[in-house]
Chain A
């Protein structure tokens, strides 16, 4: 696991569960620090995937952040109160609004 002694004083939620984060964290970093390894299910087979490159290249860490789908969590800074949901499979066109 990837761990740290100081979890930080910000909080976000992942699938409703409260997670601590540090100022300056990416969402993906905060999730990994909280032991969350999977952020999405693939559109084709529905298998779980999680952060892989942490630098915006692989698009494995996509999640729904504050209602917006397809967010690259490794490039997105955390904000206090942020709500993150696992992105499940293909998204419908209606989500685009």
Chain B
């Protein structure tokens, strides 16, 4: 194992593998670490095992093959849990801790689904659409019977189509998007035309779902109910309530960058109003406010898988240049066509971001916000009444964000609840300070490490 690679990449999804291919082609030694059993990230998860089912998959498989052949060292089932300010990276695999001291670090950690808190969302049987999609891709699990999908965004349709194709059936899709956004979204349609193929795909998915006879319901709100697990869902539309039997409810409200590592490192972040989330600040080469830390892919801002492959390559070029392996003219010449292609992939974003704009959640007091520590919206409002101003004070008041997930799920929502209670915009609320280790590890791993 190279302990001093030129470039250490965290994450083997579209951005990470693309960066590895580009960096090795420029003569850099690369170590890539990923928590999963294989490369591909979420979008291409288990793709090499499943095989291609369309042209996009074929292109993805070709890229994963290139990655295998590129000479980068890769460790899967490897979890990065700390990065020191001097650039030392600590990670564990198979119960053993390791340290690497790369010249540069590229964080390509992708996204998590935006949490979608509804009453009853902690009941067993309520999962995310992304979770069901992972179960489909890795284990061939398909929805059957009283399985409902609710929320907004392209993944709702994509998952439904994939599930139907795999022989599943869906009780219904509940569209919670804001219909008032349809008209404002239309003005972004001309700009989206360079991505006409993606637009066509969306229309095809909608048709396939309709053809399969899956009911499409529009609703303003949804709640999950049951005693020890999900038993039914209750929809509200036009002031009317409708109850349906349910054993599985899949929620989705788009994706947001995973900022656990960049936050813990202290990188500067900026608020995206269009995507209603924080993202690390980076220059055209993915360099963050900390010069040896780079970001690429959706972890740097949501743009999709193919845009991520290009931002990964651009970051690799930036690193190769910074390490003196290529001159400025070579870097810029190689980057120009990548930037042009990336721009075409970004054409759809304003349309999607408007059509599926995340809304300020107006949670009932008894809706759970911090699933780990069981802190409700009402608990948070109470803390604000007692003088709590931001996320880090909230920890002391309520333990919100201090459970095993370390705020991955609740931090986004809790900030919304505080903002609403204080009558301020969300970016004015001090965000959660993330601390290393960003994933729990066993004391034995640390002890063995110290004795090495």
List residues of chain A with CB under 8 Å of any chain B CB.
Answer: 1-6, 22, 24-26, 29-30, 32-33, 37-38, 42, 44-45, 47-60, 62, 70, 74-75, 77, 96
15 pairs of residues in contact across A and B, judged by CB atoms under 8 Å: A1-B143, A1-B144, A2-B132, A4-B139, A4-B141, A29-B135, A32-B141, A37-B124, A37-B125, A48-B229, A51-B127, A53-B128, A54-B130, A54-B131, A58-B408
Q: Given A2-B248, A45-B374, A53-B112: A70 and B440 within 8 A (CB)?
A: yes
Beyond A54-B130, A57-B405, A57-B408, is A2–B141 a contact (Cβ under 8 Å)?
yes
Are A57 and B124 closer than 8 Å at their CB atoms?
A: no
Closest to B227 in A: A48
Q: Compute how far the CA of A51 lies from the CA of B135 in the bound complex, rounded to whole angstroms.
A: 11
What 0/1 pattern do residues 90 to 130 of B give for CB contact below 8 A with A? 00000000000000000000001100000000101111101
**Cβ of B138 and Cβ of A24 under 8 Å apart?**
yes
- In the assembled complex, the CB of A72 is this many whole angstroms from the nearest CB of chain B, namely 9
> Are A1 and B145 within 8 A (Cβ)?
yes
Q: Which of B248, B371, B374, B443 contacts A58 (CB 8 A)?
A: B371
Interface 1/0 per residue, B226-261 and A, CB below 8 Å? 001110000000000000000110000000001000
Q: Are A22 and B139 in contact (CB under 8 A)?
A: yes
A4-B405 in contact given A48-B229, A54-B131, A58-B371 (Cβ < 8 Å): no
Asked whether A38 and B144 contact (CB < 8 A) given A54-B134, A77-B37, the answer is no
> Contacts A29-B135, A54-B134, A55-B42 hold; do A3 and B371 have CB atoms under 8 A apart?
no
| Chain B contact residues, CB within 8 Å of chain A | 35-37, 42, 46, 49, 77, 112-113, 122, 124-128, 130-132, 134-135, 138-147, 167, 228-230, 247-248, 258, 371-374, 403-405, 408-409, 440, 443
Find chain A residues with CB under 8 A from B248 CB. Answer: 1-2
Q: Is the CB of A25 within 8 A of B404?
A: no
**How many CB-defined contacts (below 8 Å) exist between A and B?**
122
Contact yes or no, B134 A55, CB < 8 A = yes
**Which secondary structure characterizes the binding site on chain A?**
loop
Specify which chain B residues have a CB less than 8 angstroms from the CB of A60 in the assembled complex: 371
Report the Cα distance A47→B229, complex, angstroms: 10
Beyond A54-B132, A58-B408, 15 extra complex contacts between A and B, CB < 8 Å: A2-B141, A2-B144, A29-B134, A29-B141, A32-B135, A37-B125, A48-B229, A52-B128, A53-B127, A53-B409, A54-B127, A55-B131, A55-B134, A57-B258, A58-B409
Known A49-B124, A51-B127, A59-B403; contact A22-B140, beta-carbon cutoff 8 A: yes
Could you tell me if A47 and B141 are in contact, using CB atoms closer than 8 angstroms?
Answer: no
Known: A37-B124, A53-B113, A96-B443. A59 touches B372 (CB 8 A): yes
From A26, A45, A56, A70, B139 is in contact (CB under 8 Å) with A26
The answer to whether B142 and A26 have CB atoms under 8 Å apart is no
Q: Which residue in chain A gives the minimum CB-CB distance to B408?
A: A57
Q: Knowing A1-B147, A50-B124 touch, does A38 contact B443 (C-beta < 8 A)? A: no
A4-B122 in contact given A24-B46, A54-B131, A55-B130 (Cβ < 8 Å): no
A58 to B404, CA, bound (A): 8
Please name all residues of chain B whose beta carbon is closer than 8 Å to the beta carbon of A44 when the two chains form the complex: 373-374
* CB atoms of B124 and A70 under 8 A apart: no
Cβ–Cβ contact A30 & B139, under 8 A = yes
**Is the Cβ of B130 less than 8 Å from the Cβ of A53?**
yes
Interface centre among A6, A30, A42, A96 (most CB of B within 10 A): A42
Q: Is A37 in contact with B443, judged by CB distance below 8 angstroms?
A: no
